């Protein structure tokens, strides 16, 4: 048996059993859903960072179109479910300066750190040492932003806007799908300006257990698991909200400060997460499950051997990770919770997020050669 698989399978099964006993069936289910998400991300090599880089530098938009397919499927399912008000809530957050600055910083961090929230976690599970550095710096940056909450929380903001609340669910759904379709067409037109052939999303080939999966499989499976997450957790898939929690508990454990008195954790929406055990946090459970699921998938794929990062990669991971963490907290999320979760929930902030995030990705891609990144 592959060594990774020998470690990951007991973690997967034992973790689910322990969570079910300690916190209930919902936690165990979210652990397994997170593991399935990690396996799907790794097998399909589904990511945002490389897709944006190829779009901006090579004018290849197939990765973006796979994201648009994922978002369209989630939006078509989320909006009717959320309108039914069956104990589920969407991600509807304010639009303001913090969102714009945070999304831009996050975009820069993606290209320097080598991944976004989901990409970092599944790469760690897949055995990429460099991404462990990015993750540690990611948590550090998120904790820094939480500590400095009073500095940026007063920046101008224009409130949260729910498109279904403004125009109704049918119009919001039709409008969202129309915009996603327009972005699909624009990516095709952008690709045609440089290439005579336009790449299609692949759908054939691959192996269910060993991978790799075609990109189309990845988009459909991730959409299904996102809808399942909404139903089980009562809210969309999220990743980065757990990072300031982990970092703040580390600060308290090391005796550096008492985050209980940070205004960030005194907010009504966060105080409960801070006061409960870390493993009571459902986002933490899914994040760790995602990492273990990617480890299982890497073992099934027979991946072996690690390449340790070079000096420039280490520096890029440290800087990029901090920018990712700060950006995610300021912007109320990452590609998953802000872009995917926000748009699928009918929130204006999801559409606004992607603009400065793409600009940040362009700056980050331009900076990559300074760190000798490929």
pLDDT in tens, 191-207: 999 998 899 999 888 78
pLDDT of residue 1: 63
pLDDT of residue 3: 75
Task: Give start and end residues of each alpha helix (H) in 45-96.
Answer: 49-53, 62-84
pLDDT tens track for 240-274: 999 999 999 999 999 999 999 999 999 888 999 99
Residue 230 burial (C-beta neighbours within 10 Å; 0-12, 13-18, 19+): buried
Residues of the chain under the 50 pLDDT cut? none
At residue 159, φ and ψ (nearest 5 deg) are 85, 170
pLDDT of residue 106: 97
**Is the N-terminal amide bond of 212 cis, ω within 30° of 0?**
yes
User: What percentage of the chain's residues is helix, strand, coil (to nearest 5)?
Assistant: 75, 0, 25
pLDDT of residue 54: 94
């Amino acid at each position: 048996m592959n060594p990774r698989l020998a470690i990951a399978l007991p973690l997967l099964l034992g973790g689910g059993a322990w969570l079910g006993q300690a916190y209930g069936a919902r936690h165990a289910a979210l652990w397994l859903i997170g593991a399935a998400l990690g396996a799907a991300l790794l097998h399909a090599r589904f990511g945002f960072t490389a897709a944006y880089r190829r779009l901006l530098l090579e004018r290849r938009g197939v990765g973006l179109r796979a994201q648009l397919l994922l978002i369209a499927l989630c939006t078509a399912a989320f909006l009717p479910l959320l309108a039914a008000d069956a104990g589920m809530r969407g991600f509807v957050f304010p639009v303001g300066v913090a969102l714009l600055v945070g999304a831009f910083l996050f975009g820069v961090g993606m290209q320097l750190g080598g991944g976004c929230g989901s990409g970092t976690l599944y790469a760690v599970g897949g055995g990429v040492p460099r991404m462990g550095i990015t993750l540690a710096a990611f948590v550090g940056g998120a904790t820094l932003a939480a500590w400095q909450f009073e500095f940026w929380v007063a920046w101008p903001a224009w409130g949260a806007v729910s498109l279904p609340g403004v125009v109704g669910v049918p119009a919001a759904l039709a409008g969202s799908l129309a915009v996603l379709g327009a972005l699909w067409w624009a990516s095709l037109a952008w690709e045609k300006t440089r290439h005579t052939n336009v790449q299609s999303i692949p759908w054939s080939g691959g192996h269910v257990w060993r991978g790799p999966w075609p990109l189309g499989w990845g988009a459909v499976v991730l959409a299904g698991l996102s809808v399942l997450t909404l139903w089980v957790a009562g809210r969309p898939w999220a990743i980065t909200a757990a990072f300031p929690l982990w970092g703040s508990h580390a600060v308290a454990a090391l005796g550096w400060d008492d985050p209980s008195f940070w205004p960030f954790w005194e907010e009504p929406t966060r105080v409960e997460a801070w006061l409960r055990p870390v493993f009571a946090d459902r986002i933490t459970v899914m994040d760790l499950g995602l990492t273990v699921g990617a480890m299982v998938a890497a073992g099934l794929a027979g991946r072996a051997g690690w390449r340790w990062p070079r000096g420039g990669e280490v520096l890029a991971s440290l800087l990029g990770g901090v920018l990712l963490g700060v950006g995610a907290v300021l912007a109320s999320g990452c590609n998953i919770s802000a872009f995917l979760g926000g748009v699928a929930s009918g929130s204006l902030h999801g559409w606004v997020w992607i603009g400065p995030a793409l600009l940040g990705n362009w700056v980050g891609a331009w900076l990559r050669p300074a760190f000798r990144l490929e």
